[in-house]
Structure 1
Amino acid sequence: MTTPPAYQDPAYSVPPQAPVPQPPKKGARALKKLLIRLGIGLIALVIWMIYDEVTGDPSTANAGDCVQVSGTDDNPDVHVIDCKDPKAAYKVLREDTGNGDQCKSVPGVVAWYTETGRADVVLCLGKNQ
């Protein structure tokens, strides 16, 4: 003889359980943190590069650019500016790295500017006509 199936009252049935979300794996969390840090670093680098271009940092000068020089001989303040600006006293004849000795052989050089630090810069300067 067969037994009838057990009676289930719908009022007492247990609803199906939703799956319990699992926390992300440690590797995924570390990768996410690394990508965030790299993104922040990249944004900071772009801001720094734009700031250097806007402020006329000497390390952005190329041959043919003009510069304004203020300050003293011991502590010059050099900024790249438009050649039509009346404050543009000098034109960059050659941009290089080193100690400035290479400027002695450049025709028309009246001065040179050297900067050491994050980027070694030598600007061989001639008069801006």
Structure 2
Amino acid sequence: MSHIPPQGGLNGSHTPEQIRRNRLVFLGLVLVVAGLVAFWALGPYDTKDQSSTLKAGDCFQNIGTDKEAKTKKLDCTDPHADYKVLKMNKGAVVDTLACSDVPGTTGSLTQSDPPNWFVVCFKKNDEKGKK
């Protein structure tokens, strides 16, 4: 006569302590993943881009990357204010054309996200860290 093992339920090979431990390990992993997702979504850093609010005379820091710049507007004497806006050209698309007639321009920032197209022409901030 053959013996068919029971389906489902507790298996004699797992003790209640092992089951409890496995559940705690699983809960811990879920909490770690949830924490990482929350950290990524909320982050402890300011990621709000203020590029569209810049105007001539404003100073800013790039809190993004060179390829995806995000600006944080600062007082020009702030030690982190690396750049000074020379011209904000709303509606412009090509930075080389928009900034070619602005004396002193050393760089530009372009946003080509319709309908908010603009180019910011800037230079290094000479007032950085002066009070």
Structure 1 length-normalised TM = 0.52
Q: How many residues get paired?
A: 75
Q: CA RMSD in A?
A: 1.6
For 1:25-78, what per-residue CA distance to the aligned partner results, in whole angstroms no more than 9, with x for missing partners?
A: xxxxxxxxxxxxxxxxxxxxxxxxxxxxxx561111110000111332211222
Q: Which residue is equivalent to 1:26?
A: none
Unaligned runs of 5+ in 2: 1-47, 127-131
1:104 aligns with 2:97: no
1:93 to 86, 93, 96: 86
- Aligned match of 2:59: 66
The percent identity for this pair of structures is 37
2-structure distance, mates of 1:110, 1:104: 10
- Deviation string 1:83-111 (CA, Å, 9 cap, x unpaired) is 11111111000010312122122111000
CA contact (8 A) 1:58 1:121 kept: no
Q: Note the 1:1-129 alignment, pairs <5 A.
A: 57-97=50-90, 98=92, 99-100=94-95, 101-117=97-113, 118-129=115-126
Structure with bigger RCO (C-alpha 8 Å, 6+ apart): 2
Unaligned runs of 5+ in 1: 1-54
Per residue, is there more helix in 1 or in 2?
Answer: 1
Task: Give distance in 2, aligned partners of 1:70 and 1:113.
Answer: 13
- State how far apart, in whole Å, the 2-side matches of 1:58 and 1:109 are: 17
Which segments of structure 1 move beyond 6 Å, counting only runs of 4 or more? none
Other structure's SS at 1:109 match: coil
Q: Is the 8 A contact 2:98 2:119 kept in 1?
A: no
TM-score, length of structure 2 as denominator length: 0.52
Q: Please tell me the residue identity of whatever aligns with 2:99.
A: C
Output the CA distance in 1 between the equivalents of 2:118 and 2:75.
20
Contact preservation (8 Å) 2:51, 2:70: no
